[in-house]
Amino acid sequence: MPELTLIRHGQAQTGAKDEASYDNLSDLGHKQAGWLGEYIDRTQGYDLVISGAMNRQIQTAQSLKLTTPHHQDPRLNEMDYFGLADSLLQTHGVAWPTSEAEFIKHLPQILNAWRSGDIVDGLESYGDFCARIMDALGDAMQHEGRVLLVTSTGVIATLTTLALDLDIHKKSKVFMAVAHTSVHKFTMRDSDLHMTQFGGTPHLDYPDRLHAKTYA
């Protein structure tokens, strides 16, 4: 029964208001990925790394500094958070959040509108997003050996939601709990998705690295 390990990318450009501005790792993001790579070298190892095609995902895979072959699969790309936030502004007049507290309230509104299909034309639907990330997982499980996937919060939170059959409120909590370079594991049993690990950060769980555990 193959098991896949997924990690979230390292910290990107926090505070950005568009995808292009956000989509590069910060100095800390590169360091987080480097520490994770050192941990992987010491403890387990993988036969293949597959990242999404976004800059922050590719940069994270590269900053792991593993000798493992690295492929890209755009089906592991993040949901269009910025597009969905702009849609919520256009259709419901809900302003962009300007603080973490506002973001916590804003996120379930975005997810609820997305899931119900109440979004502007041209954005990827929630159903299509779920289908593409499940297809990516299914194909990754066909590879021999141990596979590491480098992706983003929305992908990990959605897979967790599908595995545990969570509602939007609980999905929002999961979304906020996915730390940068955190480790998550999934497997398939009789075509059903199962989660076997959520949110591990063994490479950051040292007294002198606790400051480096970031979420936003």
Q: Which CATH architecture has domain 3-78+125-208?
A: 3-Layer(aba) Sandwich (3.40)
Taking only the tens place, the pLDDT of each residue in 17-67 is 778 889 999 999 999 999 999 999 999 889 999 999 999 999 999 999 999
Q: In the numeric block, which tokens belong to residue 59?
A: 């940069």
Q: What is the pLDDT of residue 1?
A: 63
Taking only the tens place, the pLDDT of each residue in 143-199 is 989 999 999 999 999 999 999 999 989 999 999 999 999 999 999 888 899 999 999
**Residue-range domain boundaries for the chain:** 3-78+125-208, 80-123
Task: Write phi, then psi, for 8 (nearest 5 degrees).
Answer: -80, 150
Indicate the residue type of 163: A
Largest CA distance in the chain: 50
Other beta carbons within 10 angstroms of residue 160's beta carbon come to 23
Please give the model's pTM, rounded to 2 decimal places: 0.94
User: What is the DSSP-derived secondary structure letter of residue 96?
Assistant: P
Q: In the numeric block, which tokens belong to residue 153?
A: 């919060």
Cβ atoms of residues 66 and 90 within 8 Å: no
- C-alpha distance from residue 167 to each of 83, 94, 158, 194, 201 (Å): 22, 21, 11, 17, 25
